Amino acid sequence: MNVVPLTKPRTAKDFASDQEVRWCPGCGDYAILKAVQKTLADIGADPAKTVFVSGIGCSSRFPYYMSTFGFHTIHGRAPAVATGIKLANPDLDVWIVSGDGDALSIGGNHLLHLLRRDVNVHLLLFNNEIYGLTKGQYSPTSRTGTRSPSSPGGSVERPVSPALFALGAGARFVARSIDTAQKHLIDVLKQAHDHRGASFVEIFQNCLVYNDDVFSAFTAKQVAADAQLLVKHGEPLIFGADRRSGLRIRPDRLELEIVRIGDNDVTEADILVHDATNRALATMLAAMTLPVALGVLYCEPAPSLGAAVGSLADRQPVSPSVADLNALLRRGDTWTVAG
């Protein structure tokens, strides 16, 4: 009798390459790398069918540190390259790693079209609100007043909200997490992977060299419970250390307001229940400054671009022969260039 040995489950270490990880000590990218490797192990990913695509920036070193296939492409063009990879080989599991500058500045146009086309890839946007690799210039997500080598008097621009950008571009999966919130981040990454279509995950990531503690108002341990709203589909939007703060729609206008359960006759029944299929609610949650909504803000599956392209290909006639193509090119008005 032939005995088939059991396949040993993969671990996070199986997805770590032999390359030395070279980010600044204490960089949030280390925590994200660890979370991604753990996620791939947990979902049973096949390294031979997994691809990481990056552009330019600190985060874009990511493919070198993964024991999978990888493409380190050019500034802002990772979404375009990833689209080609996924359409050429739909069986591949394609992940995109990008920073706020790479994705939302030179790459903003490519990101927009990736999301509106709903290509079945998973995009991780590392948001540290600064350009790290090129030494601390302000980025599209930097807050007004940010002082940097390129804005010594303070930035006068209004920042881009990555989550609002994604929703506006038509993304059907938009989520947020924090680099050091390992359990939460891994859960969000698994949900992003399960989504069929383009999944967009904004990860608040600390750059301790050029923008240290920029998110401390909601990531610091002593304030996290009151400053973070962990959203889950079908559950009430309640937060706070005492679990008494919640969100409801203001009775006099269409916007969210924070209320306290037990105050002014407010009960838990008055608190909004998170509906991840409601784009309007996701937009309001993404726009809040405090508390910061974390988790899957929006998820509404639909046929992705790959499925549509495959269906279109099935309906197309057989490609013409060379002779037919020559005839096609030479029909109608033609001319010869002499000399």
For the stretch 252-311, pLDDT in tens is 888 999 999 999 899 999 999 999 999 999 999 999 999 999 999 999 988 777 676 666
What average pLDDT does range 82-107 have in this prediction? 95
CA angle 37, 41, 44 (to 5 degrees): 140
Read off the pLDDT of residues 180-201 as tens digits, 9 standing for 90 and up.
Answer: 999 999 999 999 999 999 999 9
**Residue 7: band (very low, low, confident or very high) from pLDDT cuts 50, 70, 90:** low
Task: State the pLDDT at residue 320.
Answer: 58
Read off the pLDDT of residues 121-148 as tens digits, 9 standing for 90 and up.
Answer: 999 999 998 888 888 788 899 888 888 8
**Residue 249: band (very low, low, confident or very high) from pLDDT cuts 50, 70, 90:** very high
Tally helices (H) and strands (E) across the chain. 11, 11
Using CA atoms, how far apart are residues 11 and 46, in angstroms rounded to an integer?
Answer: 12
Are the beta carbons of 124 and 203 closer than 8 angstroms? yes
Are the beta carbons of 49 and 91 closer than 8 angstroms? yes
Task: State the pLDDT at residue 138.
Answer: 85
Using CA atoms, how far apart are residues 55 and 237, in angstroms rounded to an integer?
Answer: 36
Give 332 or 6, the one with higher predicted confidence.
332
Tokens of 96: 């995109």
**Residue 322: band (very low, low, confident or very high) from pLDDT cuts 50, 70, 90:** low
Q: In CATH terms, is domain 12-223+293-310 a member of 3.40.50.970?
A: yes
